[in-house]
Amino acid sequence: MDPQDAIFELIEAAAGGVPVIFADEDGPRPGAPYVTLAVRWAQASNAEAVRMGNDGIQSVRQHDDATVELQAFGSAAYDRLDELGLRLRHALYQERAEALGLALFEVGRLQNIPVLRDATRFEKRGVLELGIRYARSFAAPVGMIEAVEGTFAVTGGTTEFPEAPFSIPDEASP
């Protein structure tokens, strides 16, 4: 599952029946209350190469730390996000996050920022940032040396050495 979809699934479960939508989608918004979700940016860790398997496939993997912005609209928008942040720290949702390949590592600042809807009317809006970590990996075949063979001979010395073959087997083979 795509990390953004996994994050959406986790937030939707923790939202307690309040509709969750992606923030940058086109189309009409649901009636209040509702929550928007946006993965604003992700910072990748260093990639780690995994030992190549006997099939010649090698994986690289990394952990990404994403900043996820939630905005709640409607009455009690601030309180709704405060409760959602608390729910995400409960074992029920931590286990769900782990099953989705996610880890909540930060519940950031919660803000109350009303949004101007027309020249005279404000709508209640709460904003909450979350830090969510997920893993990514990529696997593909790589060139593989199965064995090295060669011979050597020593000449010009006082003692004659016979020619000797050698081989270096692949250590990954059973």
Q: Residue range 158-162: average pLDDT? A: 66
Alpha-carbon span 13 to 91, nearest angstrom: 13
Enumerate the domain spans of the chain.
Answer: 3-141
With pLDDT > 70 as the criterion, what percentage of the chain qualifies?
Answer: 85
| Tens-digit pLDDT profile for residues 28-86 | 888 889 999 999 988 988 899 988 888 889 999 999 999 999 999 998 999 999 999 99
Pair 36, 19: CB distance under 8 Å: no
pLDDT at 13 over 60: yes
Q: Residue range 15-37: average pLDDT? A: 91
Which of 28-32, 121-125, 163-167 is the least confident region? 163-167
Tell me the β-bridge partners of 168. 148
pTM comes to 0.76
Beta-sheet pairing, 57-73 with 48-49: antiparallel
Task: Tell which CATH classification among 3.30.2000, 3.30.420, 3.40.50, 1.10.760 matches the domain 3-141.
Answer: 3.30.2000
Pair 151, 162: CB distance under 8 Å: no
pLDDT at 100 over 80: yes
pLDDT band, residue 174 (cuts 50/70/90): very low
pLDDT at 153 over 70: no
List of long-range contacts for 96-101, beta carbons under 8 Å, 24+ apart = 96/10, 96/13, 97/10, 97/132, 100/1, 100/6, 100/9, 100/10, 101/1, 101/3, 101/6, 101/134, 101/135
